Each structure stands twice: as structure tokens, then as C-alpha cells.
A and B are shown apart, each in its own frame.
Chain A
């Protein structure tokens, strides 16, 4: 970010947040905003109870300092943490109209020390002891959570706090945001935006752990190993600067590390900071820490001789196809007394100038040269590589990009998604085995009624999975807008149902959705079942009138779709043709005009089954229009259907069967009632006849006999 951007950023955020950018108070009375505007001073809120959660065992507290305000926690003379309140810093409110106040601490290196909820008004948590406890536990689980390396530390899933996931999540976000803010103000640290070498971070690392972590790399060569190396390279019998001594004796020991990282160098060099040795060099100068023991050390003597250009002749640093050798000027000697435990007899830092192309974040190696003269008298330099990969713990990672809201919607809804997928599998099985199912009238009626109840109560009223035209329009116009993909994916159940509906529409027809997955459709059909139970009189238009009434839903579809291209007010008004929002999504908790409209439609449906579906529904109209494309006709017909038999036609609850016996697929809801008749050898006249013939032939009068399906699918055309 350029300086102006930074300033704008800070001006925009600090001033806007602290002073209040929008000049509007929260809705409602002024008293509602008391939390937001007049918190008591930070120091007054730091009771011992709070401090025990935020920074147990703090020795001494400093003054309130800085804007946003924070209080330093001292251990001796050293600042070990800053304590702040989210309310002071980001005024981040939770998932209610009241802001919350959390006091938390952060170490100067960016780790949260603890958190304590001072005040909140989350309706889910308040007055629920169990949840209060869970929230406290959730927040305290952030102790040690690093604001810089957030992604590297195990993330505790926010749904740990039952029923208040959003609050918990926004509380965590507020803590982390506030901590970043406070550190930036108190330490002047800019957050990293790309992986950056952590030069200044320091924490004690035991000697052995330096090697386990890879902070230091080490090469050990015994006399025997060197002899073997020479043999391998055809240099047997060469003359070396130092003789090999015994095969088990140490010949060389070399240590390598990235010395410009304080956490590495300070743990090796006891006496002073490596930075002091690098001081005076431009920023970006890297220092390679090299140490050595043994008869043949890595330093040699060449660097003392002008004839050899003061050059170190026993090693080079290599990265990719570049290599660096060093002279006396690049060398910072480290005496054996400066090394932890005197573990390296010779040690030093070798500086690589800034801008020379060395990238400390990438792997590199140190080539350790065994110099000598071969028996033929030729000088050689045999490289032994020591690979070095900087451990990730010395790289500051930029904060992970925030998870898009829709991703959280999918993870939050994973139970619902699983239930829905199971439901759709069941529905698919129903359609695959419909022939078998339809032969058992009682079983079938039970399955269908249960399914409709589930669609209404779970899918519609509980999970909010009512597909509506607005979704179809959004999807259909997606290519015209540059909407964010999250816009379409934020309702997981709708996405899945829309996908299933599309596939089933192409394969079978609109009836799969309308007959089984539409909660409002289910509500109408269940009410119609009640009406049938009470034998309410039914009214159905004549075939000719019905044909004209059917047009209504296409007209509604055209109006609703057309209105979306007009003003937003018109679009939402047209949308209200659909009573889904009232009856399903809002569970009738809407204004009376909407509720009365829905009641009217449902009451009409008592006397004319699914009247709304058949004559008015814009979603049904859209699907019916697209139904023309379907590939398979699953509903079976006989030649007698329509003429002379009218049984199915009468039993079709929505009168989708024409008097010719043909099924008008665009009007069919795949309720499968006609298939139950089709297989019923006590009702379907042709079957009854066969059954009786069979019975006579077998001489077992009246014994029911299972009759196989007689005519293959779609013996009669049914394409509308």
C-alpha cells in the first residue's frame, strides 16, 4: 500500500470507526445505543476477574495509551501484552442490534493471550448458562492464537458455541481485528501482505530442536567418510591440507543457518544480536551463519592472504544457478565464547548484499569444498552440499483471506444438506421403482403423504428450501450480470434443489419438482387430502374452460419475469403473486394482506385441488413451459385409456388427463395416482377383466392374482 493508501486506510478506519462515520444512531430509542457510545474507561473495566482470563499473573499494568486505547502489561520492565476492548477499537456488534464488549490481550508478537466477555446481548446466549459457558470456553480457546499466522494455528470451529455461531464468529473477528489495530498503533507494525521473512521474531529454541526444526543444518565427515568420497571420485591417494587421521576421527563438522533471522542466530550466538553485526548494511542484506569444528574446518586460512584475494576458498552458497563466495569484507567473526555452549570452534556470519538475487525464503545450499591435490598433481575442490530450507516458522504469512460468506453457509448447513441429499435419493428411488410402489395402494399412499409432509414441514418450514421464481430469474440472468458467484451459492439447499429440478425437468418433466419438492404445492395437496377426507364438494372447470385457465400461470410467469427488467419495486410487487414467502419462508408471519391472499388461495384449493398450481403459479408456469423438452414418459397408459375407460381421467387430482386419455405432461404433477389405478386389478377395467378370465380359467373364483404390467411405457402418445 502506498503512503496515501495507508493514511487513507487509517484515517478511514480509525477515525470512521472511533468517531462514527454514519451519523445515524441504531434504530429505536436513544437508550438502545448506550453500550455503543458511553462505555466506562478501559481501566475501570479491568477487574481482577477480567485480568485472570485475559492475562493471568500480570505483574504490572501501564496507563491507557493510544488511539484506539490499550493498556500495556509489564513483566519486569518488558511489555508482554497489550490489553484492549473490542468495543473501544472496532465497536463490532454481534448478531443482535446490541454491540458487545470483549476485553482481550495480545502479545507484542501477535498472539492472543485470552479474552473475556464483559457485556453482550446475544439473544441466544443470554440467560442460558450452558451457552454462556460454551462462549467463554470458545473465546479462551484463542489463547496463543496468532493474529499473523492465523491460518497455521489449528482453527477452532466457531460452531462450538451452540446456537450462537454468528455471534461467536463476529466476536472472534472483532478480537482479531482489534488486536491487529492495537499492535499497529502501539508498535507501528504494518501487517504483512505477502510471505515475509520474520527477521525480528524471537523465541528460545533448545540446541537439539534447532536441528530438528531445520533452523540449522549440520554436516559431519569422519576421516573414513572423506576417504570413501575421494575413492568414489577417483581421487584415491590425494594429498589433503590435513591428514585424515583415523577413519572414526572427526575430519570436518559444518553448521549452516540463515543468520539474519533473529530466532535462529540469537539461539546460536549467545552474546549479541546478529543484527548488530549486520548493522550499517542496507536493509535486505542477508547473513549466512556458518560454524565449523574438526581437523579441516570450513574457514581455512585463504581469507587472510592477499594473494588469494582474501577469499574463503572452502565453501560457496548456491541458490538455483547462482552462487556466492565470500571475502574478508563480507565476514563477521564470531568468537567461540559467543557461541552457545562453545559448540563451534570457528563461526561467523557471511553477508550477502541486498539486491544480489538471493531469496532467503527459497531453498539454497552451502557447498563445502574438500580441497586437495590428486596423485597426478592436479588441484581439486570436491564439493559436499549441505541443503538448507528455511523452516516455515520464520516466515510471516499474510492473514488468510476471509472465508467468503457463502462458504460458511455451506459448512453451517452441512446437516441440512445431508438430509436433503438423502431425501433426493429417496425421491429418485421412488421414481425408479414407481411401478412396484404403485401396485400397493396403501403403501404408496403412505409413502406419498409422508413425503409431502416432510417436504412441507422440514424442507419448507424448517430448512427454508422453497424454490421460487426469483431464484430461477437470478440463475437465468446470471450471464447478464457480473454478480459475485457467492450471490448464487449462498443458499445451499436452493442450489441443490434447483439443480435436481433442472435435471428432472429435462428427464421426466416439471412434475417431479411440483409434485414432490415444492413445499407450497405439498401444503395444497395435503389440504386437499383433508378436504377429501371430509368429502367436501369439489369443483373443476370443464375441459375447455380449464384449457383457458391454464394460460393464467403462463401469463403470471411472463409478468413476473418481465417486471424484473422494470423497476425493483415492480419486480417485488409482481413476485407477490407467489404466496411462498408468506406461507412457507415466513410461516405466515407477515402483514395481513399477504396472509389473507395466501389463505384465499389455500381455501380455494380445498374445493379445486391445487387451484393455485394449475392456474396461477408463475414458477409452475415457467417449469410447465420448459416441460416440452422432457425426454422420457414414465407414466404408463393402456389402449383403453380415454376410450372407453375414464377411470384415470377422473382420479387425476389436477385433471391433467384429457378426455382422449392422453396425459398433458405440462400439467401433470407426477403424483402417480393414475399409476396406482393402472396397476389395480380391482379397478382398472381391462385388468379386472383379465383377473376374472384368469380366475375362471384356474377355477379359483375370487382369488386375487398378480397381473404383470400389460403394456410398455408410453404406448399412447403423451407428449403435449
Chain B
């Protein structure tokens, strides 16, 4: 007997079509029975209870820290997270970003954008990051009436050469300083066109006083987007995200500028950047160190250090250098122009001053 299968069902489902036995979705019913209401409440309560239990059972978060060197200085990233693998992958991701920015700003790399600009006096097509940092530098130079100046590299070179041959000397001669100062003029930087160029030959820039802040900001912003809530980024500058995992403010130790092996005080911050500029960081010899006063050509010694606390590390970084150079006198105006930032200054006699005054 042959069975012909009808492959085209046209008929409506016959009466014998079974009612779905195990219908997953309850048909909407008019009104809730008490039983159902209880179920709903119990289920809604069970979810948080289960998750709280799960939280205790799941791996507990800790700080995952990376340490290394960025732009010639100590660097670290500390991420609070329960998953070490994840934290490490994100750290690797951040290091790729740091590496990329170092290829713009590192004076140690001969083919970085800044090295090429210094060598050739021009940079045909600067990256967006490079323009952003240079632009911020020029704004700070304007705001601080030249106390902050990215073109102090000539002074750095002069001092580096001098102290290499005279490790115990008193500092370069006035004539040489005056000569170097001819190349310290931020107005020689032309950022208006696609090409960045120096209008005066022999000008060289350093972005050390700001690029670390920029890298810190980039990485911190990326980490926030990656979902890290408790983070400390130290890439030359320090910036925190969220509160300390214990739910309190972060306590940041500040070094005693007179004795950098000791801490002088602790500041408490929530989500903020902290930048410290002080001559003790890289001393050359005698009174001379790496923070130059572009107006005199010598090292800025009116303050032992300047700590600036504010939302973003780029600006905090630039402000701390500018304040360190311009001294207590210029501090108030600089902070007034940049609301949201505060400063702690250490005077040469070791006393401190806070701006805006508490």
C-alpha cells in the first residue's frame, strides 16, 4: 500500500490538533490570584537575595597593579577588579595606548613626533594628540604670562651640557643663559596650519610638563569606559577614579620636598588628578634643577614645590609647573582662570600655603 504524503496542508487545524500541553507562556488572565501575587513577590525578592549570596561566593575584587616606566619616570596602574585576567588584558590594552602616545611625546625616542619637530624645526602632519597637547601648552603659556613655556628645552640642554662637564659647578654663565633664552619663546610655535613649525630656528620644545598629564587623562578616561570604578593611574601624574574601595576618599601622600624620602602630608581626594612640581625631582646641582623660569633663564626657586589638585591631569600638570615658576604671587590668578583646581604650595622655609585659601 502506498502512502501519499500530503505535503501541502491547506486545511485549518482540525479539532484534534492538541492544545499545547506545556505552554511556556501563561495566557494573560484577568486579575491576579493571591497565589500568583505571592509568587511574584517571592521571585522578585529571590533575585536580590541570590545575587547578594553570589557576590559573597564569587571571587573578591583586589587591586591589580602594573608597574613600569613611562616617559622616563616611574609609572603604575592600579585597578580594582575581581577578575585578574580581565584586569591584565585591559592593562595590556592601556600600555598599547601609552606606547602610542610615547611615540608622540618621548624625548628619549629619536623618531617621536617631538624629537622630529625639535630636530627639523617642523612637523609636516602632527597627530591630533600632539596638537592637543601643544595647544594646551600654548594656552597655559598665555595664561601664565610666559611662566609656563614649552620652549625651555634650550635651557635644559644648556644645563645638561654644563653639569655633565662641571658636576659640582655653580651653573652656566650668564652669557650662555642669555644666548639660550633667545630660543625660549613660545610665540615662535606656529600651530595655525596643518604643519607645526618653529618660526625661529634653534627653538626646541619639551612637553614633559604636560604630556604625562595628557597620557594619564587618556588612560584614565579609557579605564572608566572599560568599567573600572576604583582606579589609581600614575603615569607621571596621578589621577583617581571613584572612591577608595573601602568607600572613603583616597589618601595621597605628598613627599616632603626637603627630604623626598619622607612624606610631609596626606591629601584626601575623591575623583581627581594630583600633580606635583618641584625642583627636587631632577636636581642638576646646587640651586639648579629642571624647572626653569623662562623669564630669567635660571631655575625657579621661589617655591619648593607646588601641588595642584583638580579634575584633569593635563591641566593640573601644566598648572603645577606654571605655579612653581610664577610663585605664590601668580598662583591666585592662575587658579581663578581655572575653576575647580586648588593648590598647595611649599615655601622655601618649609611652610605651606593653600589656594584658594580654606
Contacts and interface: CB of A to CB of B under 8 A. Distances in A.
Interface of A: 1, 4-5, 7-9, 11-13, 15-17, 19-30, 33, 37-38, 90-97, 99, 123, 166, 170, 404-406, 408-409, 412-413, 416, 461, 463-464, 470, 482-487, 490-492, 527, 531-532, 534-540, 564, 568-569, 571-572, 575, 580-581, 585-591, 594-595, 598-599, 602-603, 606-607, 638-640, 644-645, 647, 650-651, 653, 682-683, 685-686, 688-690, 692-694, 697-698, 707, 710-711
Contacts of A698: 1, 3
Contact of B83 (A170, A405, A587, A685): A587
Contacts of B286: none
Q: Which 7 A-B pairs have the closest CB atoms?
A: A486-B96, A25-B253, A581-B227, A568-B221, A23-B276, A12-B72, A405-B92
A416 B260 CA distance: 45
B281 A16 contact: yes
B337 interface: no
B65 interface: yes
A13 B73 CA distance: 7
B250 A27 contact: yes
Given A586-B82, A692-B16, A7 B92 contact: no
13 contacts: A7-B161, A21-B74, A21-B281, A38-B261, A404-B96, A463-B85, A483-B96, A580-B227, A585-B83, A598-B51, A606-B47, A650-B20, A689-B13
Contact of A9 (B59, B108, B128): B108
A416 B88 CA distance: 14
Contact of A685 (B14, B48, B255, B278): B14
Contacts of B85: 413, 416, 463-464
Contact of B9 (A92, A572, A590, A640): A640
A653 B25 CA distance: 8
A408 B227 contact: no
A484 B305 contact: no
Contact of B89 (A99, A464, A587, A711): A464
Q: How large is the interface on B (under 10, 10 to 19, 20 to 34, 35 or more residues)?
A: 35 or more
Given A537-B40, A606-B44, A688-B16, A25 B224 contact: no
Given A486-B96, A685-B17, A16 B74 contact: yes
Contacts of B237: 22
Interface string B266-283: 100000001011101111
A93 B88 CA distance: 16
Task: Identify the interface centre among B76, B88, B128, B281: most chain A CB within 10 Å of its CB.
Answer: B88
B356 interface: no
Contact of B225 (A575, A603, A651, A692): A575
Interface stretch (B168-176, B194-202, B228-236): B228-236
A7 B73 contact: no
B96 A464 contact: no
B64 interface: yes
A693 B96 contact: no
A491 B89 contact: yes
Interface in B70-128: 72-74, 76, 78, 81-83, 85-86, 88-93, 95-97, 99-100, 107-108, 110, 127-128
Nearest to A473: B225
B48 A599 contact: yes
B142 interface: no
A587 B55 contact: yes
B178 interface: no
Nearest to B251: A28
A587 B92 contact: no
Contacts of B6: 690, 693
A602 B253 contact: no
Contacts of A487: 93, 96-97, 100
A123 B92 CA distance: 20
Nearest to B80: A589
Contacts of A90: 69
Contacts of A595: 51, 55
B157 interface: yes
Given A23-B276, A534-B43, A638 B48 contact: no
A689 B11 contact: yes
Contacts of A599: 47-48, 51
